[in-house]
Amino acid sequence: MISRMGFAAVVVVVAVLVLGVGSCAQGIGARGPQKPLVPALILFGDSTVDVGNNNFLNTPARSNFLPYGRDFDTREPTGRFTDGRMVSDYLATWLGLPISLPYLHPNATGQNLVHGINFASAASGYLDTTSQFLHVAPARMQFRMFEGYKVKLANVMGTTEASSTITNALYVVSSGSNDFILNYFISPEMQNRYSTTQFSSLVMSDQKEFVQNLYKAGARKMAILGFPAIGCIPAQITLFGGLEQEKCVETQNAVALEYNKVLQDEVPKWQASLPGSQFLYLDAYSLLYEIFYNPAKYGFTSTRRACCGHGLISTAEFCNEATSGTCSDASKFVFFDSLHPTQSVYKRLADEYIAKFISFFKLDGGY
């Protein structure tokens, strides 16, 4: 149970998250190899894969201002909650595809749709209640967007070719941790209603339904990310451990580990029950945890303090270049703001994931 004082502190941190405002610039990265390994890359999830959809929602949870994006290809803010690229960006380049546009971007029309799209929304989760407070797009809304995308794609490519693209595309889903970070962990009401195990089961049920709906809609190749080391996020350490604590909040890491264990066991069962499907579980926990406690091994100097703002509870508007300080070299930091990793961390994760994509999906030639 969180005390009244603790809950007040939570409200402060959530307020930090939601104050972001700024301009709406969106950069597009260059193509990779001329022969794509899949026809399209399609993404769902939260801020770990959102490339700017929140810029076009009536939400204060945005990052479309500097210093966000300062190390991106265009050196401009895009709506990504980091200094540069994310895993999805590196993955697109490796696949030989253009970096995905957010579905809600005005340029997401015509030929810009044929190589994939991104439906992710920062601060969202599988549960609708997680997304209501910040007015972002939960998993169910993202799926409805996907249904609309299929119609648009058929109008551009024709029904047969669009259907082939949907079937052969690679899907990446990175969601669920906000159901704990922005919902369960900060809600005495939820904690009174559900045990941690019960709440995890609730999220897992919605995740399973989401995956099954994607399959029914045509998705076959799907990479599903587990939870990161939630307790090692600077904001979570500050909130649940205190300003002076340097170690991760292991009680929250234990929740993430338990969820991941169940998810890792469930993914093969989902695949077995859905003919023709290929579902790959990706570990988002281990590398971040290892880097946090052994930063020098990976070339990092700071884990507890983020690159921008005050470093311990700075995100969104509190990471605004005009009002807060920012480190000179983000590549030495594990976290860019108090909730999100730097481009350097995402690059290491991408390298790890790409090796798994090659072996699991046999992506060693054109489709």
Catalytic option among 105, 337, 338, 344: 337
CA within 13 Å, CB half, 256 = 28
201 catalytic? Reply is no
Which residues are CB-neighbours of 367 under 8 A, at least 6 positions away? 36, 37, 38, 39, 168
Rounded Cα gap, residues 344 and 302, in angstroms: 13
Amino acid at 185: F
105 catalytic? Reply is no
Catalytic option among 47, 88, 131, 187: 47
Nearest to 226 by CA among 287, 271, 269, 277: 287
115 catalytic? Reply is no
- For tokens 């769902």, the residue is 44
Find out whether 237 and 230 touch, Cβ atoms under 8 Å: no
CA distances in angstroms from 177 to 50, 126, 297, listed in the order given: 14, 9, 27
Catalytic option among 174, 187, 340, 344: 340
Residues involved in catalysis: 47, 337, 340
